[in-house]
Amino acid sequence: QRCFVCGESGAAITCCREGCDRSFHLPCAMEGECVTQYFPPQRSFCREHRPEQQVEAAPEEDTNCIICMEPVEDRKSFHTLVCPACKHAWFHRSCIQGQAQYAGTISFNCPHCRDKHHFLRDMVKIGIRIPMR
């Protein structure tokens, strides 16, 4: 299979949407804005079919990531996420992924409101990998 992101052969992951034949390498997934859900059944989606946050929220002007304190985009996107519980905590996908890797399922929660239930459920749905440790 040829990777739709880099164009090289050997792409082992295919979008799980029926009728979609896009394949990609796991290392190319982030660059291609693909989502892999790391819970059974493990599924991967291309950028066209990936799940997105259903939260209706938009960041205020000059909003910063609550983790790195750098500016976020002016809307939800693949790279800019929001807490589904408080709708006030905005962060970069890479920043919240780093926090998830460090915290694991036991300690992972919204860095602002500390919600765990809605936050964790939404993050795994949109492809944040949270280790069990």
> What pLDDT, in 10s, does the model give residues 32-59?
999 999 888 899 999 999 999 999 999 9
Judgement on whether residues 71 and 59 belong to the same structural domain of the protein: yes
Taking only the tens of pLDDT, the chain with its 133 residues reads 999 999 999 999 999 999 999 999 999 999 999 999 988 889 999 999 999 999 999 999 999 999 999 999 999 999 999 999 999 999 999 999 999 999 999 999 999 999 999 999 999 999 999 998 7
Residues 59 and 38 in one domain: no
| Domain end residue (candidates: 51, 72, 90) | 51
pLDDT at 133: 74
pTM: predicted TM-score of the whole model, two decimal places = 0.88
- Please give the tally of structural domains in the chain: 2
Is the dihedral angle over the CA atoms 80, 85, 88, 94 positive or is it negative?
negative
d(CA 96, CA 104): 12
Show the DSSP H helices in 17-132 as ranges. Answer: 93-107, 117-125
**Closest Cα partner for 112 from 94, 130, 99?**
99
CATH code of the domain containing 62 = 3.30.40
Report the CATH number that the domain containing residue 6 is assigned in CATH: 3.30.40.10
State which residues form the domain around 59. Answer: 52-132
CA quadruple 125, 130, 131, 133: dihedral sign: negative
Whether the CB-CB separation of 80 and 72 falls below 8 Å is answered with yes
Do 64 and 12 belong together in one domain? no
Cα–Cα distances (Å) from 36 to 59, 62, 68, 126, in that order, read 25, 30, 24, 8
